[in-house]
């Protein structure tokens, strides 16, 4: 089973470890677009 993980732009979401773990288990990371003012 593959999951799609939505994430915001929090600093800890941009760490390579999270991306590595998702890829290793066959999941996808889908970042939200950056916020604009």
Checking phi first, is residue 20 left (phi over 0); if not, alpha (psi -120 to 50) or beta?
alpha
Beta strands in the chain (DSSP E): 4-7, 28-31
Contacts of residue 19, Cβ cutoff 8 Å, sequence gap at least 6 = 29
pLDDT at position 34, please?
Answer: 77
Q: Are 2 and 28 in contact (CB under 8 A)?
A: yes
Q: Is residue 31 part of a domain?
A: no
Per-residue pLDDT of the chain (37 residues), as tens digits, is 888 888 887 777 667 888 888 889 999 888 888 776 5
Query: How many domains is the chain partitioned into structurally?
Result: 1
pLDDT at position 29, please?
Answer: 84
Domain that holds residue 14: 1-26
Report the predicted TM-score, pTM, of the whole model to 2 decimal places.
0.56
Checking phi first, is residue 13 left (phi over 0); if not, alpha (psi -120 to 50) or beta?
alpha
Q: Are 9 and 32 in contact (CB under 8 A)?
A: yes
Q: Is residue 9 part of a domain?
A: yes
């Amino acid at each position: 089973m593959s999951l799609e993980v939505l994430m915001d732009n929090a600093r800890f979401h941009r760490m390579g470890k999270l991306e590595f773990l998702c890829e290793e288990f066959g999941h996808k990371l889908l970042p939200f677009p950056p916020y604009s003012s």
